Amino acid sequence: MKKLIPSFIALCVFISCQKTPRINGFDSQKWRTDKNACLGYRISHYRLLIEQRDQLKGLSTTQIHKLLGLPNKNQLYDRDQKYYYYSTSPNKKCGSHYAKTPETYLRLRFNSIGYVNELTITNE
């Protein structure tokens, strides 16, 4: 048991120190601040993420949280997969004049061990 504690601490440090990639032209802080895409940053910059999707594939949930913040929605799927949805267009949370506007999301699919394996744009 005493040997497991240092191993556990080392694992936690390793996981917390994972590097998050830099996306050219992308400001992570502005993305996180524009939570519901009301400020216009997400709608004008989500294409950068799609164009550079290879840099995002293979990232862990922790790295995605550091880069994009918490998702607007998430969904558990079969075989321990999950999806994160990030709003990319203004929606009803931005005001009543957006109530009938179709919502667009950046969707990230995570495999069963918690790494991104797909990025798509979807309408809900």
Residue 80, in any domain of the structure: yes
* Residue 7: both structure tokens together: 């191993």
Residue 75, in any domain of the structure: yes
- For 120, list phi and psi in degrees, rounded to 5: -145, 165
SS3 content of the chain, % helix, strand, coil (to 5): 40, 20, 35
Chain segment 27-77, per-residue pLDDT in tens: 999 999 999 999 999 999 999 999 999 999 999 999 999 999 999 999 998
Chain segment 1-31, per-residue pLDDT in tens: 555 555 555 444 454 556 778 888 999 999 9
Residue 91, in any domain of the structure: yes
Q: What is the pLDDT of residue 6?
A: 55
Q: Please report, for residues 16, 48, 75, 113, 119, the alpha-carbon distance to residue 38 in angstroms, rounded to integers and kept in the order given.
A: 31, 18, 23, 33, 22
Chain segment 84-104, per-residue pLDDT in tens: 999 999 988 898 788 788 899
Q: Which helix (H) or strand (E) holds 63?
A: helix 61-68
Domain that holds residue 35: 25-101
Amino acid at position 44, single letter:
S
**Rounded mean pLDDT, 95-123:** 91
Share of the chain above pLDDT 70, in %: 85
Who contacts 40 (Cβ-Cβ below 8 Å, separation ≥6)? Answer: 34, 90
Residue 64, in any domain of the structure: yes
Q: What is the pLDDT of residue 91?
A: 85
Residue 113, in any domain of the structure: no
* Locus of tokens 């293979």: 58
Residue 122, in any domain of the structure: no
- Total domain count, the chain: 1
Q: What is the pLDDT of residue 7?
A: 52
Residue 124, in any domain of the structure: no
Whether this model's pTM surpasses 0.85: no
